[in-house]
Amino acid sequence: DTAVSQTPKYLVTQMGNDKSIKCEQNLGHDTMYWYKQDSKKFLKIMFSYNNKELIINETVPNRFSPKSPDKAHLNLHINSLELGDSAVYFCASSTRDEQYFGPGTRLTVT
Amino acid sequence: GIQVEQSPPDLILQEGANSTLRCNFSDSVNNLQWFHQNPWGQLINLFYIPSGTKQNGRLSATTVATERYSLLYISSSQTTDSGVYFCAVYYGRRFGAGTRLTVKP
């Protein structure tokens, strides 16, 4: 069983479109995250939720809106996509100390 | 904010060699993790090690929190060890830029 899953794995879309990425974890963790990994492999935290409550919001444009319907799910909605949004987006969940990552979603904006 | 620096940025080894990867951080931390991103992009949790030493097979890690560094040791490297190794502090809020390891057969 996959611990942290994301859909879709690949997403190709045009500038200006709106898209969503879904994340689910079956580890029973209270905390979930979204990260962006750019083309140079640099990983940057975007958001963190604890028990459906937003606890970290790291200077991310407000075109990005996370939504946590329950503590096992954290979805990422992106409005008005821009070329610079092209990246790999990782979802993760954690115990108090250790994080576990999903497989990533490669977003390409053309 | 806290700065995390990893060295070396790139490392090429022959299979069977040993290596040491370093992670320096600019402030005291009570949370440090090492991850391996394999060539297929998957991020794998290697160690949670805020202090002390841990070992898992051919890999071991040591963190000296008072001196603000952590080391990841890879012994008898294999081609499957290739990829990028990241350290992260402060509950995943800050990642280093990574060390790209290539192990040649």
Contact (CB<8Å) B35/A101 = yes
Contact (CB<8Å) A45/B92 = yes
Q: What is the per-residue pLDDT for A21?
A: 98
Contact (CB<8Å) A98/B48 = yes
Q: Do you find a cis peptide bond into A66, omega within 30 degrees of 0? A: no
- What single-letter amino acid sits at A95? T
Taking the C-alpha atoms of residue B41 and residue B62, their distance in angstroms, rounded to an integer, is 25
Domain ranges across chain B: 4-104
In chain A, whose CA is at the least distance from the CA of B39? A41
Q: Measured between CB atoms, does A41 come within 8 Å of chain B?
A: yes
Q: Measured between CB atoms, does A50 come within 8 Å of chain B?
A: no
Of A15-24, A70-79, A92-101, B15-24, which gets the smallest average pLDDT?
A: A92-101
Cα dist from B96 to A12, A14, B51, B55, whole Å: 28, 31, 18, 21
pLDDT tens figures, A3-13: 999 999 999 99
pLDDT tens figures, B47-71: 999 999 999 999 999 999 999 999 9
Average pLDDT over residues B1-24: 96
Q: Give A-chain residues touching B45 at CB under 8 angstroms.
A: 98-101
Q: Measured between CB atoms, does A9 come within 8 Å of chain B?
A: no
Q: Which segments within B1-105 are labelled E, that is strand?
A: 4-7, 10-14, 19-25, 32-37, 43-48, 52-56, 59-64, 69-74, 83-89, 94-95, 99-104
Fold of A4-109: Immunoglobulin-like (2.60.40)
Residues 6+ apart with CB under 8 A from A65: A76, A77, A78, A79
How is residue B79 written in tokens?
């081609």
Domain B4-104: give its CATH superfamily.
Answer: Immunoglobulins (2.60.40.10)
Which among B31, B43, B84 is the nearest to A97, CB-wise?
B31
Give me the helices (H) in chain A, please: none
Q: What is the per-residue pLDDT for A105?
A: 98
- B48 Cα to chain A: minimum distance (Å): 6
Q: What is the per-residue pLDDT for B2?
A: 85
pLDDT tens figures, A70-107: 999 999 999 999 999 999 999 999 987 889 999 999 99
